[in-house]
Structure 1
Amino acid sequence: MTGRTRLAGSDRGSAAVELVLLTPLLVLVMLVVVAFGLLADARLVVNDAAHQAARAASLARTEGAARSDAQKAARAALHAAGASCAHPQVRVRTGHLQPGATVTAHVTCTADLGHLSGTGLPGHVPVDGTAYSVIDTYRSAIS
């Protein structure tokens, strides 16, 4: 014998078998992590759209203009971010646009999981965000 002893039931090739068995599980875990990351990103985008909508509404002079400007700002923010939001809705409370009042914008949309993750997953997730913007206290109340 040459100094090596051969054991019965050798482990040769077991690492390759383990790798083959664990690879699908690792890929699945990676896909889940990526999907959660993209969902978190979608929530950030919707929150940003709500912030922009609230700010645009707080700068308007009339309530009609405030609602219109909020809609436009939210849709532009979602479009610029490439969000996969279907049917975005924007609700605005203006506080009658009185100086010192707070404007509230609430943006809601439905994110398609397949488009969001790029994996074709079925289903939809509601995503929403709310933001506030204070109307300048020294702003003229005359329109």
Structure 2
Amino acid sequence: MNAVQLRRVVGWWRAQGGAVTAEAVLIAPVLVMLLVFVAVVVHRGVDARLRLDDAAHQAARAASLQRSPVAASTAAQATATLALVHAGLVCRDAAVATTTSASPGSTVLVSVRCTVDFGQALVLGVPGSRTLSATASEVIDTYRSQPATGGT
């Protein structure tokens, strides 16, 4: 770079007179708002996933304490529904599937599927709802899984 070119660059830089600073001051709040919106959407997704995992674990534990596969399925459904309500997770089309056997020491598997609404995330181009699922397993309790025998 020769002296003439260097003078042109320096002259151009001085002629700007703080325009870059003004542009940065105007653009910074927009970028911060965009980052906040993205953080809110990510938080909603992670929070919904954690609450759904917790509901699946609670449902599997409740099912493992029942004495028959039918009672286990009923307990899993009721517990998952109640856990989702208490967690504040609004689900559309919630479904609970339970796979179990009657033998003590085997496992019960509970899958919870839920369509979660992300509401205001449409502004960012994120889909308004997303279907999430969680699965949990639990060992069937040896002492509670058998029907009561004889009288005491």
Identity of aligned residues (%): 42
Superposed CA deviations along residues 76-134 of structure 1, whole A, max 9, x for unmatched, are 1100010021121000001x2211010000000101121xxxx2525211111000110
TM-score normalised over the length of structure 1:
0.82
In the alignment of these two chains, the number of paired residues is: 132
The answer for unaligned runs of 5 or more in structure 1 is 1-6
Q: 2:114 aligns with which of 109, 114, 118?
A: 109
Q: TM-score with structure 2 length normalisation? A: 0.78
**Is the radius of gyration larger for structure 1 or structure 2?**
2
Q: Does 1:85 align with 2:91?
A: yes
Contact 2:99 2:110 survives alignment (8 Å): yes
Which structure has the highest helix share of the two?
Answer: 2
Instruction: Tell me if 1:130 matches 2:135.
Output: yes
Give the ranges of 4+ consecutive aligned residues of structure 1 lying more than 4 Å apart after TM superposition: none
Cα distance in 2 for partners of 1:11, 1:128 equals 56
Deviations 1:1-52 (A, max 9, x none): xxxxxx9525346433312123212211221122111101100000001001
Query: What is the alpha-carbon root mean square deviation over aligned residues?
Result: 1.9
The answer on whether the counterparts of 2:102 and 2:145 sit within 8 Å (CA) in structure 1 is: no
Deviation at 1:68, TM superposition (A): 0.9
Are 1:68 and 2:87 counterparts? no
